[in-house]
Structure 1
Amino acid sequence: MEQVLSRQEASDAVQDAGWRFLLGALRTSVPVGSLARAIGLAADAVAVCGDDADQHLRADARPDRVVLTLQSVEHAAVTTLDVELALRISAVADRAGLATDPEIGTEAPHSVQILEIAIDALDIAGIREFWKAVLGYAGEAGAEGPKDPLVDPVGQGPALWFQQMDQARPQRNRIHFDICVPHDEAPRRVEAALAAGGHLVSATRAPAFWVLADQEGNEACVTTWQGRDG
Protein backbone atom coordinates (compact mmCIF):
# COMPACT_ATOMS: atom_id res chain seq x y z
CA MET A 1 0.00 0.00 0.00
CA GLU A 2 1.34 3.44 -0.96
CA GLN A 3 2.37 5.47 2.10
CA VAL A 4 3.56 9.05 2.54
CA LEU A 5 7.13 9.18 3.86
CA SER A 6 8.72 11.57 6.30
CA ARG A 7 11.53 13.83 5.10
CA GLN A 8 14.13 11.62 6.75
CA GLU A 9 12.61 8.42 5.37
CA ALA A 10 12.43 9.81 1.84
CA SER A 11 16.00 11.11 1.91
CA ASP A 12 17.45 7.91 3.36
CA ALA A 13 15.62 5.69 0.88
CA VAL A 14 17.18 7.25 -2.22
CA GLN A 15 20.45 8.77 -0.97
CA ASP A 16 22.65 5.97 -2.27
CA ALA A 17 20.82 5.87 -5.63
CA GLY A 18 21.84 9.45 -6.42
CA TRP A 19 18.50 11.16 -5.79
CA ARG A 20 17.98 14.04 -3.37
CA PHE A 21 14.92 15.10 -1.39
CA LEU A 22 13.95 18.73 -2.05
CA LEU A 23 10.72 20.46 -0.97
CA GLY A 24 8.56 17.39 -0.84
CA ALA A 25 9.92 15.74 -3.98
CA LEU A 26 12.73 13.48 -5.13
CA ARG A 27 15.01 14.97 -7.77
CA THR A 28 18.05 13.92 -9.76
CA SER A 29 20.06 15.40 -12.62
CA VAL A 30 21.51 12.97 -15.16
CA PRO A 31 24.30 14.26 -17.43
CA VAL A 32 23.88 13.26 -21.09
CA GLY A 33 25.73 14.05 -24.30
CA SER A 34 22.91 15.08 -26.62
CA LEU A 35 19.25 16.03 -26.75
CA ALA A 36 18.50 12.74 -28.48
CA ARG A 37 20.00 10.84 -25.56
CA ALA A 38 18.17 13.06 -23.11
CA ILE A 39 14.83 12.36 -24.80
CA GLY A 40 15.70 8.68 -24.86
CA LEU A 41 16.37 8.57 -21.13
CA ALA A 42 13.17 10.49 -20.41
CA ALA A 43 11.25 7.99 -22.53
CA ASP A 44 12.90 5.09 -20.70
CA ALA A 45 11.95 6.66 -17.37
CA VAL A 46 8.33 7.00 -18.47
CA ALA A 47 8.30 3.40 -19.67
CA VAL A 48 9.73 1.99 -16.46
CA CYS A 49 7.20 3.98 -14.41
CA GLY A 50 4.38 2.56 -16.52
CA ASP A 51 0.86 3.68 -15.63
CA ASP A 52 2.21 5.62 -12.63
CA ALA A 53 4.26 8.05 -14.74
CA ASP A 54 1.59 10.72 -15.23
CA GLN A 55 0.80 10.96 -11.52
CA HIS A 56 4.38 10.87 -10.25
CA LEU A 57 7.09 11.70 -12.79
CA ARG A 58 8.19 15.03 -14.29
CA ALA A 59 11.08 15.26 -16.77
CA ASP A 60 13.04 18.25 -18.08
CA ALA A 61 15.17 17.05 -21.00
CA ARG A 62 17.98 19.25 -22.37
CA PRO A 63 21.05 18.58 -24.54
CA ASP A 64 23.39 18.34 -21.54
CA ARG A 65 21.17 16.75 -18.88
CA VAL A 66 17.80 15.39 -17.83
CA VAL A 67 16.30 16.59 -14.56
CA LEU A 68 13.83 14.05 -13.19
CA THR A 69 11.38 14.74 -10.38
CA LEU A 70 9.17 12.28 -8.52
CA GLN A 71 6.24 13.25 -6.31
CA SER A 72 2.73 11.91 -5.83
CA VAL A 73 0.28 14.37 -7.39
CA GLU A 74 -2.49 12.98 -5.19
CA HIS A 75 -0.61 13.45 -1.93
CA ALA A 76 1.67 16.37 -2.93
CA ALA A 77 4.40 14.45 -1.13
CA VAL A 78 6.92 11.64 -1.55
CA THR A 79 5.48 8.17 -1.09
CA THR A 80 6.81 4.63 -1.01
CA LEU A 81 5.83 4.34 -4.68
CA ASP A 82 7.98 7.35 -5.59
CA VAL A 83 10.96 5.66 -3.97
CA GLU A 84 10.28 2.47 -5.92
CA LEU A 85 10.05 4.45 -9.16
CA ALA A 86 13.30 6.30 -8.38
CA LEU A 87 15.15 3.02 -7.95
CA ARG A 88 13.70 1.69 -11.20
CA ILE A 89 14.79 4.80 -13.08
CA SER A 90 18.30 4.63 -11.60
CA ALA A 91 18.56 1.02 -12.76
CA VAL A 92 17.46 1.81 -16.32
CA ALA A 93 19.86 4.79 -16.44
CA ASP A 94 22.71 2.56 -15.27
CA ARG A 95 21.95 0.04 -18.02
CA ALA A 96 22.19 2.91 -20.53
CA GLY A 97 25.62 3.87 -19.20
CA LEU A 98 24.27 6.95 -17.41
CA ALA A 99 24.18 7.80 -13.72
CA THR A 100 21.69 9.41 -11.36
CA ASP A 101 24.57 10.84 -9.40
CA PRO A 102 24.64 14.16 -7.47
CA GLU A 103 28.41 14.50 -7.59
CA ILE A 104 29.37 17.92 -8.89
CA GLY A 105 31.48 17.85 -12.03
CA THR A 106 34.04 20.42 -13.10
CA GLU A 107 31.51 22.22 -15.31
CA ALA A 108 28.46 22.03 -13.04
CA PRO A 109 28.02 24.45 -10.11
CA HIS A 110 25.48 22.20 -8.39
CA SER A 111 23.55 18.98 -8.85
CA VAL A 112 19.90 19.85 -8.24
CA GLN A 113 18.09 22.72 -6.56
CA ILE A 114 14.71 24.45 -6.38
CA LEU A 115 14.23 28.22 -6.24
CA GLU A 116 11.41 29.81 -4.25
CA ILE A 117 10.54 33.47 -3.86
CA ALA A 118 9.36 34.55 -0.40
CA ILE A 119 7.23 37.66 0.15
CA ASP A 120 6.86 39.13 3.64
CA ALA A 121 3.30 40.33 4.21
CA LEU A 122 1.06 41.69 6.94
CA ASP A 123 -2.07 40.47 5.12
CA ILE A 124 -1.16 37.32 3.19
CA ALA A 125 -4.71 36.55 2.12
CA GLY A 126 -5.06 40.12 0.89
CA ILE A 127 -2.08 40.01 -1.47
CA ARG A 128 -2.12 36.33 -2.50
CA GLU A 129 -4.80 36.74 -5.14
CA PHE A 130 -2.87 39.60 -6.77
CA TRP A 131 0.25 37.48 -7.16
CA LYS A 132 -1.81 34.53 -8.32
CA ALA A 133 -3.38 36.64 -11.06
CA VAL A 134 -0.37 38.64 -12.20
CA LEU A 135 1.87 35.57 -12.47
CA GLY A 136 -0.80 33.22 -13.82
CA TYR A 137 -0.03 30.89 -10.93
CA ALA A 138 -2.18 28.37 -9.04
CA GLY A 139 -2.25 26.64 -5.69
CA GLU A 140 -0.47 23.34 -5.16
CA ALA A 141 -2.55 20.18 -5.18
CA GLY A 142 -4.62 20.12 -2.02
CA ALA A 143 -3.31 23.53 -0.88
CA GLU A 144 -5.63 26.33 -1.96
CA GLY A 145 -6.00 28.06 1.37
CA PRO A 146 -5.77 31.88 1.64
CA LYS A 147 -2.21 31.69 2.96
CA ASP A 148 -0.86 28.72 0.96
CA PRO A 149 2.05 28.96 -1.54
CA LEU A 150 1.56 29.47 -5.26
CA VAL A 151 3.21 27.51 -8.08
CA ASP A 152 3.54 27.84 -11.83
CA PRO A 153 1.02 25.33 -13.24
CA VAL A 154 3.32 24.58 -16.19
CA GLY A 155 6.45 24.34 -14.04
CA GLN A 156 8.47 27.12 -15.66
CA GLY A 157 8.74 29.60 -12.80
CA PRO A 158 9.83 29.38 -9.14
CA ALA A 159 7.34 28.74 -6.38
CA LEU A 160 6.05 31.72 -4.41
CA TRP A 161 5.32 31.61 -0.69
CA PHE A 162 4.31 34.18 1.90
CA GLN A 163 5.98 34.85 5.24
CA GLN A 164 3.83 36.37 7.97
CA MET A 165 5.00 39.73 9.31
CA ASP A 166 4.05 41.05 12.74
CA GLN A 167 4.74 44.67 11.85
CA ALA A 168 5.84 46.70 8.86
CA ARG A 169 9.59 46.79 8.18
CA PRO A 170 10.05 49.60 5.64
CA GLN A 171 13.86 49.60 5.92
CA ARG A 172 14.22 45.89 5.13
CA ASN A 173 13.72 44.15 1.80
CA ARG A 174 10.45 42.20 1.90
CA ILE A 175 11.04 39.86 -1.04
CA HIS A 176 13.89 37.35 -0.87
CA PHE A 177 15.02 34.16 -2.57
CA ASP A 178 15.01 30.72 -0.95
CA ILE A 179 17.44 28.34 -2.64
CA CYS A 180 16.60 24.76 -1.67
CA VAL A 181 19.64 22.55 -2.17
CA PRO A 182 20.60 18.97 -1.28
CA HIS A 183 21.42 18.70 2.42
CA ASP A 184 24.93 17.48 1.65
CA GLU A 185 25.66 20.45 -0.63
CA ALA A 186 24.33 23.22 1.64
CA PRO A 187 27.50 23.95 3.66
CA ARG A 188 29.51 24.32 0.45
CA ARG A 189 26.91 26.71 -0.99
CA VAL A 190 26.94 28.85 2.16
CA GLU A 191 30.74 28.96 2.15
CA ALA A 192 30.77 30.03 -1.50
CA ALA A 193 28.30 32.85 -0.82
CA LEU A 194 30.37 34.12 2.11
CA ALA A 195 33.57 33.92 0.06
CA ALA A 196 31.84 35.98 -2.65
CA GLY A 197 31.37 38.92 -0.29
CA GLY A 198 28.19 37.95 1.52
CA HIS A 199 27.69 37.76 5.25
CA LEU A 200 25.80 35.47 7.59
CA VAL A 201 22.72 37.11 9.08
CA SER A 202 21.57 34.09 11.07
CA ALA A 203 22.24 30.37 11.40
CA THR A 204 19.94 29.77 14.36
CA ARG A 205 17.60 27.63 12.19
CA ALA A 206 20.35 25.79 10.30
CA PRO A 207 20.32 23.26 8.71
CA ALA A 208 16.70 24.11 7.84
CA PHE A 209 17.97 27.44 6.54
CA TRP A 210 20.84 29.88 6.73
CA VAL A 211 19.96 33.57 6.26
CA LEU A 212 22.61 35.30 4.16
CA ALA A 213 22.90 38.82 2.75
CA ASP A 214 24.92 40.63 0.15
CA GLN A 215 27.06 43.67 0.94
CA GLU A 216 24.00 45.97 0.78
CA GLY A 217 21.84 43.84 3.05
CA ASN A 218 19.65 42.11 0.46
CA GLU A 219 18.82 38.69 1.89
CA ALA A 220 18.65 35.16 0.56
CA CYS A 221 18.23 31.84 2.36
CA VAL A 222 19.98 28.56 1.63
CA THR A 223 17.54 25.87 2.73
CA THR A 224 17.40 22.07 3.13
CA TRP A 225 14.85 19.55 4.32
CA GLN A 226 16.75 18.93 7.54
CA GLY A 227 15.78 20.40 10.90
CA ARG A 228 12.10 20.82 10.01
CA ASP A 229 10.59 17.91 11.96
CA GLY A 230 9.59 18.29 15.56
Structure 2
Amino acid sequence: MSTLSTAEILDLDLPDWRPVGGALRTRFVTKGFTAGMELLRAITPLAEEANHHPDVTLTWPHVDIALVTHDAGGLTGKDVDLARAISAVAAEQGVPADPSVVQVLEVALDTGDHEAIEPFWSAVLTGAPDNVTDHEVIDPTGQLPGLWLQASESAGEGSEKQPAMRFHLDVYVPHDQAKARVEAAVAAGGRVTQTRFEPSWTVLEDTHGNTACVCTDLPHG
Protein backbone atom coordinates (compact mmCIF):
# COMPACT_ATOMS: atom_id res chain seq x y z
CA MET A 1 0.00 0.00 0.00
CA SER A 2 1.41 3.38 -1.01
CA THR A 3 1.93 6.04 1.64
CA LEU A 4 0.63 9.60 1.55
CA SER A 5 2.86 12.65 1.88
CA THR A 6 2.12 15.39 4.38
CA ALA A 7 1.08 17.67 1.51
CA GLU A 8 -1.37 15.04 0.25
CA ILE A 9 -2.83 14.64 3.73
CA LEU A 10 -3.30 18.40 4.08
CA ASP A 11 -5.14 18.52 0.75
CA LEU A 12 -7.80 16.18 2.15
CA ASP A 13 -10.85 17.26 4.13
CA LEU A 14 -9.71 16.27 7.63
CA PRO A 15 -10.44 19.30 9.84
CA ASP A 16 -10.29 17.25 13.06
CA TRP A 17 -6.83 15.83 12.39
CA ARG A 18 -3.23 16.94 11.89
CA PRO A 19 -0.16 15.01 10.66
CA VAL A 20 2.29 15.32 13.55
CA GLY A 21 5.32 13.18 14.33
CA GLY A 22 4.64 10.70 11.53
CA ALA A 23 1.04 9.95 12.52
CA LEU A 24 -2.41 11.41 11.99
CA ARG A 25 -3.42 12.78 15.39
CA THR A 26 -6.21 14.54 17.22
CA ARG A 27 -7.61 15.18 20.67
CA PHE A 28 -11.31 14.79 21.44
CA VAL A 29 -12.44 16.95 24.34
CA THR A 30 -14.79 14.70 26.31
CA LYS A 31 -14.74 16.61 29.63
CA GLY A 32 -15.35 13.39 31.53
CA PHE A 33 -14.14 9.80 31.83
CA THR A 34 -17.54 8.28 31.03
CA ALA A 35 -17.88 10.30 27.83
CA GLY A 36 -14.40 9.18 26.83
CA MET A 37 -15.30 5.55 27.39
CA GLU A 38 -18.47 5.95 25.35
CA LEU A 39 -16.46 7.38 22.48
CA LEU A 40 -14.02 4.48 22.60
CA ARG A 41 -16.85 1.94 22.71
CA ALA A 42 -18.25 3.45 19.53
CA ILE A 43 -14.84 3.56 17.83
CA THR A 44 -13.90 -0.04 18.63
CA PRO A 45 -16.21 -1.72 16.07
CA LEU A 46 -14.92 0.63 13.37
CA ALA A 47 -11.33 -0.35 14.09
CA GLU A 48 -12.18 -4.04 14.23
CA GLU A 49 -14.09 -3.91 10.95
CA ALA A 50 -11.20 -2.13 9.23
CA ASN A 51 -8.61 -4.35 10.95
CA HIS A 52 -6.78 -1.11 11.66
CA HIS A 53 -6.29 -0.10 15.27
CA PRO A 54 -5.40 3.39 16.48
CA ASP A 55 -3.19 4.26 19.43
CA VAL A 56 -5.48 5.71 22.09
CA THR A 57 -4.87 7.55 25.35
CA LEU A 58 -7.87 8.02 27.63
CA THR A 59 -7.78 10.53 30.47
CA TRP A 60 -10.52 12.29 32.41
CA PRO A 61 -10.85 15.39 30.17
CA HIS A 62 -9.94 14.05 26.74
CA VAL A 63 -9.13 11.18 24.39
CA ASP A 64 -5.98 11.36 22.24
CA ILE A 65 -5.90 9.26 19.07
CA ALA A 66 -3.04 8.56 16.67
CA LEU A 67 -3.31 6.70 13.37
CA VAL A 68 -0.49 5.26 11.26
CA THR A 69 -0.20 2.23 8.98
CA HIS A 70 2.79 0.51 10.56
CA ASP A 71 3.28 -2.17 7.91
CA ALA A 72 3.42 0.53 5.21
CA GLY A 73 5.78 2.73 7.19
CA GLY A 74 3.61 5.84 7.06
CA LEU A 75 0.16 7.26 6.51
CA THR A 76 -2.17 5.60 4.01
CA GLY A 77 -5.77 5.67 2.88
CA LYS A 78 -6.61 3.31 5.75
CA ASP A 79 -5.70 6.04 8.22
CA VAL A 80 -7.71 8.64 6.33
CA ASP A 81 -10.79 6.43 6.14
CA LEU A 82 -10.68 5.53 9.82
CA ALA A 83 -10.04 9.14 10.83
CA ARG A 84 -13.16 10.24 8.96
CA ALA A 85 -15.22 7.44 10.52
CA ILE A 86 -14.00 8.35 14.02
CA SER A 87 -14.79 12.02 13.45
CA ALA A 88 -18.31 11.12 12.35
CA VAL A 89 -18.89 9.11 15.53
CA ALA A 90 -17.51 11.90 17.70
CA ALA A 91 -19.78 14.42 15.97
CA GLU A 92 -22.80 12.19 16.59
CA GLN A 93 -21.90 12.11 20.28
CA GLY A 94 -21.34 15.86 20.43
CA VAL A 95 -17.64 15.49 21.27
CA PRO A 96 -15.51 18.26 19.71
CA ALA A 97 -11.98 17.76 18.39
CA ASP A 98 -9.08 20.09 19.16
CA PRO A 99 -6.18 19.07 16.90
CA SER A 100 -4.33 22.34 17.59
CA VAL A 101 -2.96 21.00 20.88
CA VAL A 102 -1.45 17.71 19.68
CA GLN A 103 2.32 17.45 19.94
CA VAL A 104 5.10 14.87 20.06
CA LEU A 105 8.42 15.10 21.89
CA GLU A 106 11.60 13.62 20.46
CA VAL A 107 14.97 13.82 22.20
CA ALA A 108 17.98 14.31 19.93
CA LEU A 109 21.63 13.60 20.68
CA ASP A 110 24.26 15.21 18.44
CA THR A 111 27.16 12.87 17.78
CA GLY A 112 29.96 12.41 15.29
CA ASP A 113 29.56 8.61 15.26
CA HIS A 114 25.97 7.54 15.85
CA GLU A 115 26.53 3.90 14.88
CA ALA A 116 29.12 3.48 17.63
CA ILE A 117 26.76 4.59 20.39
CA GLU A 118 23.36 3.44 19.12
CA PRO A 119 23.56 -0.01 20.82
CA PHE A 120 24.42 1.60 24.16
CA TRP A 121 21.53 4.04 24.13
CA SER A 122 19.14 1.39 22.89
CA ALA A 123 20.17 -0.90 25.75
CA VAL A 124 19.87 1.88 28.34
CA LEU A 125 16.42 2.97 27.18
CA THR A 126 14.87 -0.34 26.10
CA GLY A 127 16.95 -3.14 27.61
CA ALA A 128 18.13 -4.39 24.21
CA PRO A 129 20.83 -3.03 21.86
CA ASP A 130 18.90 -3.34 18.61
CA ASN A 131 15.73 -1.27 19.04
CA VAL A 132 17.03 1.27 16.52
CA THR A 133 15.38 2.34 13.25
CA ASP A 134 16.96 4.95 10.98
CA HIS A 135 19.26 6.11 13.81
CA GLU A 136 16.36 6.51 16.24
CA VAL A 137 16.04 4.47 19.43
CA ILE A 138 12.39 3.46 19.71
CA ASP A 139 10.92 2.11 22.92
CA PRO A 140 8.86 -0.96 21.90
CA THR A 141 6.63 -0.50 24.95
CA GLY A 142 5.66 3.00 23.81
CA GLN A 143 6.42 4.60 27.17
CA LEU A 144 9.43 6.76 26.23
CA PRO A 145 9.92 9.37 23.52
CA GLY A 146 12.24 8.46 20.69
CA LEU A 147 15.95 9.25 20.92
CA TRP A 148 17.35 10.41 17.59
CA LEU A 149 21.10 10.05 17.13
CA GLN A 150 21.74 13.09 14.95
CA ALA A 151 24.88 13.58 12.87
CA SER A 152 26.71 16.51 14.44
CA GLU A 153 27.53 19.57 12.37
CA SER A 154 30.79 19.98 14.29
CA ALA A 155 32.17 16.50 13.65
CA GLY A 156 31.55 14.27 10.68
CA GLU A 157 31.27 10.50 10.66
CA GLY A 158 34.62 9.00 11.63
CA SER A 159 36.14 12.41 12.27
CA GLU A 160 39.04 12.69 14.70
CA LYS A 161 37.57 15.94 15.94
CA GLN A 162 35.83 15.64 19.29
CA PRO A 163 32.11 15.34 18.49
CA ALA A 164 29.57 17.60 20.11
CA MET A 165 27.69 15.38 22.56
CA ARG A 166 24.72 17.65 23.05
CA PHE A 167 21.14 16.77 23.85
CA HIS A 168 18.33 18.92 22.55
CA LEU A 169 14.56 18.60 22.27
CA ASP A 170 12.54 18.34 19.06
CA VAL A 171 8.91 19.31 19.62
CA TYR A 172 6.58 18.30 16.79
CA VAL A 173 3.46 20.45 16.50
CA PRO A 174 0.72 20.89 13.88
CA HIS A 175 1.98 22.82 10.86
CA ASP A 176 -0.53 25.59 11.53
CA GLN A 177 0.70 26.03 15.11
CA ALA A 178 4.46 26.18 14.50
CA LYS A 179 4.70 29.94 13.93
CA ALA A 180 2.81 30.68 17.14
CA ARG A 181 4.98 28.25 19.10
CA VAL A 182 8.18 29.87 17.83
CA GLU A 183 6.82 33.33 18.60
CA ALA A 184 5.90 32.24 22.12
CA ALA A 185 9.42 30.92 22.71
CA VAL A 186 10.97 34.17 21.45
CA ALA A 187 8.61 36.24 23.59
CA ALA A 188 9.70 34.17 26.60
CA GLY A 189 13.35 35.17 26.11
CA GLY A 190 14.55 32.77 23.42
CA ARG A 191 15.98 33.54 20.02
CA VAL A 192 15.80 31.92 16.60
CA THR A 193 19.21 30.70 15.46
CA GLN A 194 18.39 28.86 12.24
CA THR A 195 15.53 28.97 9.73
CA ARG A 196 17.02 27.35 6.63
CA PHE A 197 15.08 24.12 7.17
CA GLU A 198 11.69 25.78 7.58
CA PRO A 199 8.88 24.83 7.43
CA SER A 200 10.21 21.46 8.59
CA TRP A 201 11.91 22.84 11.68
CA THR A 202 13.11 26.05 13.33
CA VAL A 203 16.08 26.06 15.71
CA LEU A 204 15.89 28.15 18.88
CA GLU A 205 18.10 28.82 21.89
CA ASP A 206 17.37 29.94 25.42
CA THR A 207 19.48 32.61 27.12
CA HIS A 208 22.00 29.95 28.23
CA GLY A 209 22.52 28.58 24.72
CA ASN A 210 20.44 25.41 25.19
CA THR A 211 18.84 24.34 21.92
CA ALA A 212 15.37 23.20 20.92
CA CYS A 213 13.66 22.70 17.57
CA VAL A 214 10.03 23.39 16.78
CA CYS A 215 9.21 20.83 14.09
CA THR A 216 6.39 19.97 11.71
CA ASP A 217 5.80 17.08 9.33
CA LEU A 218 6.22 19.37 6.31
CA PRO A 219 9.35 18.94 4.17
CA HIS A 220 11.94 21.69 4.38
CA GLY A 221 12.27 24.17 1.56
Q: CA deviation at 1:68?
A: 0.2
1:1-230 equivalence runs, <5 A: 2-16=1-15, 18-53=16-51, 55-103=52-100, 111-136=101-126, 144=132, 147-165=134-152, 167=155, 168=161, 174-228=166-220
Q: Write the distance in 2 (CA, Å) between the matches of 1:228 and 1:138.
A: 33
Amino acid at match of 2:120: F
Match of 1:74, SS?
Answer: helix
Q: 1:157 to 1:137 in 2, by over 3 A?
A: farther
Q: CA deviation at 1:173?
A: 6.3
| Structure 1 residue ranges (4+ consecutive) displaced by more than 3 angstroms after TM superposition | 137-140
Amino acid at match of 2:151: Q
1:141-179 C-alpha deviation (Å, 9 max, x unpaired): xx955x521222222211111111252567x66110000
Q: Write the distance in 2 (CA, Å) between the matches of 1:61 and 1:160.
A: 25
Q: Write the distance in 1 (CA, Å) between the matches of 2:162 and 2:10.
A: 37
Q: TM-score, normalised by structure 2?
A: 0.88
Q: CA deviation at 1:102?
A: 2.5
Q: Which runs of 5+ in 2 are unaligned?
A: 156-160
Q: CA deviation at 1:82?
A: 0.5
Q: Write the distance in 2 (CA, Å) between the matches of 1:11 and 1:50.
A: 26
Q: CA deviation at 1:14?
A: 4.8
How many residue pairs were aligned? 215
Instruction: Tell me which moved more, 94-103 or 190-199.
Output: 94-103
Match of 1:13, SS?
Answer: coil
Q: TM-score, normalised by structure 1?
A: 0.85
Aligned alpha-carbon RMSD (Å): 2.3
Aligned to 2:158: none
CA contact (8 A) 2:111 2:165 kept: no
Q: Write the distance in 1 (CA, Å) between the matches of 2:145 and 2:34.
A: 27
1:52-73 C-alpha deviation (Å, 9 max, x unpaired): 45x4411000001100000012
Match of 2:8, SS?
Answer: helix
CA contact (8 A) 2:30 2:96 kept: no
Amino acid at match of 1:125: E
Q: Which runs of 5+ in 1 are unaligned?
A: 104-110
Q: CA deviation at 1:9?
A: 0.9
Q: CA deviation at 1:8?
A: 0.9
1:18-53 C-alpha deviation (Å, 9 max, x unpaired): 100012210001111212221221232222222445
CA contact (8 A) 1:139 1:149 kept: no
